[in-house]
């Protein structure tokens, strides 16, 4: 009996071992959750913390870039502290697909959250290129080539008159050809609209001829209010089978639109029978002589109702405009007025040059006299 009382029950090792494993796993799970939570808290804190940049900085999001490439660029430029956290933040906020191409202004001390918000919801910096009215195609391409924010080359010089002068916005890094294509598309659309609303009595047969005539109007006057009247003169001349007699057409034939002539026309150039010399050939020149603006196109499509067939400059400055006439006799009077203005201005310019020359001589003589001890010389 004593032996039976001294026996002790054996421990149930299998059950206790299972509990130990469960406890260990729970402990690891809790630790893991604490670690993950700590990582998440650290990442969130870093994502929303003040950023490393001290001054406002521009950042370019290139077209077609993914969030990984953008994060690497931001980190390499010192705009964020950790690209992985930036990527995770964009994923967590579901903004990976909302990033827009363009150049953005990142303000000083911006957090990663601020940067992400700027490139997904902010407005890119607008850059533009302006083509003035009356620019030739050669000048258009030159201006595109000078813009260092654009890339690539121009496939070929666009036909004269195929570009619509205007200001065109673009994202940095786009190709020059794409911007030029935008200008050409704008011209086609504008021309189609204007041609559809033209004066039915207009003495041009096609939209291309309208552009040729509008380019001459554009180059003949820089005064917007008289474009319609200048267009009327040329339209009236075409109806009467009179030659256009436009100096800008001769100049274009000489320069081919590659810069200014830089001098007055010579008599030999006015008398030369070239395709662009409208003093010598009938009708329109073979091509436009520039890219007319939309106002010149509209004025040419619907010119003023006048009987004018002549005009001459009213003064030496383009802003002085022109004097118009319906008869040759009236035109000769206007020419005489212009010649008188020219003579007066030439005389005034010559007198100003003479006065300046004499003043220079007087200054030298006074200095020499004073150096020689002449008490009557002006003090230095």
Among 78-87, 213-222, 289-298, the minimum mean pLDDT is found in 78-87
Nearest to 84 by CA among 74, 99, 94, 97: 74
Tens digit of each residue's pLDDT (9 = 90 or more) over 133-156: 999 999 999 999 999 999 999 989
Which DSSP helix (H) or strand (E) runs through 255? Answer: helix 247-255
Q: Characterise 126 by phi-psi region: left (phi > 0), alpha (psi -120 to 50), beta (else).
A: beta
Tens digit of each residue's pLDDT (9 = 90 or more) over 64-88: 888 889 989 999 999 988 889 888 8
User: What token pair was written down for 251?
Assistant: 């100049």
The SS3 call for residue 160 is coil
Give the per-residue pLDDT at 366: 63
Q: Characterise 346 by phi-psi region: left (phi > 0), alpha (psi -120 to 50), beta (else).
A: alpha
Q: In whole angstroms, give the CA distance from residue 186 to residue 209.
A: 18
Give the per-residue pLDDT at 158: 97
Give the per-residue pLDDT at 21: 61
Mean local confidence (pLDDT), 221-240:
95
Tens digit of each residue's pLDDT (9 = 90 or more) over 42-64: 667 788 888 898 999 999 888 88
Tens digit of each residue's pLDDT (9 = 90 or more) over 17-34: 666 665 666 666 665 555
Tens digit of each residue's pLDDT (9 = 90 or more) over 258-284: 988 888 889 999 999 999 999 999 999
pLDDT > 90: percent of the chain: 53
Tell me which long-range contacts 265-269 makes (C-beta under 8 A, separation of at least 24).
none
DSSP per residue, 35-95:
HHHHHHHHHHHHHHS--S--S-EEEEE-TT--HHHHHHHHHHTTS-S-HHHHHHHHHHTT-
Per-chain mean pLDDT for the chain: 86
98 confidence band (pLDDT: 50, 70, 90): confident
Tens digit of each residue's pLDDT (9 = 90 or more) over 349-368: 666 766 676 666 556 656 66
Report whether 90 contacts 118 (CB < 8 A). no
């Amino acid at each position: 009996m004593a032996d039976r009382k001294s026996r002790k029950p054996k421990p149930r090792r299998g059950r206790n071992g299972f509990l130990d494993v469960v406890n260990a796993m729970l402990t690891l799970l809790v630790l893991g959750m604490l670690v993950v939570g700590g990582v998440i808290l650290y990442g969130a804190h870093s994502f929303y913390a003040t950023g490393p940049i001290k001054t406002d900085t521009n950042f370019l999001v290139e077209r077609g870039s993914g969030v990984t490439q953008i994060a690497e660029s931001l980190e390499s430029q010192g705009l964020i502290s950790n690209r992985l956290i930036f990527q995770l933040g964009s994923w967590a906020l579901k903004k990976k697909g909302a990033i827009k191409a363009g150049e953005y202004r990142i303000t000083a001390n911006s957090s990663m959250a601020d940067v992400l918000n700027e490139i997904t919801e902010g407005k890119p910096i607008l850059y533009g290129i302006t083509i003035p009215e009356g620019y030739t195609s050669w000048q258009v391409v030159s201006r595109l080539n000078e813009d260092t924010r654009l890339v690539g080359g121009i496939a070929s010089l666009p036909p004269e008159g195929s570009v619509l002068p205007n200001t065109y916005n673009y994202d940095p890094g786009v190709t020059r050809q794409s911007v030029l294509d935008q200008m050409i598309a704008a011209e086609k659309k504008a021309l189609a609209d204007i041609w559809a609303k033209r004066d039915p009595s207009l003495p041009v047969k096609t939209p291309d001829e309208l552009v040729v005539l509008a380019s001459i109007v554009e180059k003949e006057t820089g005064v917007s209010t008289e474009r319609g009247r200048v267009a009327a003169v040329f339209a009236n001349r075409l109806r009467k089978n009179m030659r256009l007699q436009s100096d800008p057409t001769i100049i274009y034939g000489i320069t081919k639109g590659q810069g200014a002539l830089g001098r007055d026309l010579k008599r030999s150039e006015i008398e030369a029978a070239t395709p662009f010399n409208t003093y010598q050939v009938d009708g329109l020149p073979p091509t436009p002589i520039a890219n007319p603006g939309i106002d010149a196109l509209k004025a040419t499509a619907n010119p003023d109702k006048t009987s004018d067939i002549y005009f001459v400059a009213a003064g030496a400055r383009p802003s002085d405009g022109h004097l118009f006439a319906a008869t040759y006799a009236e035109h000769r009077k206007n020419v005489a007025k212009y010649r008188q203005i020219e003579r007066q201005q030439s005389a005034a310019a010559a007198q100003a040059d003479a006065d300046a020359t004499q003043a220079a001589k007087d200054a030298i003589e006074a200095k020499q006299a004073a150096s020689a001890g002449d008490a009557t010389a002006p003090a230095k």
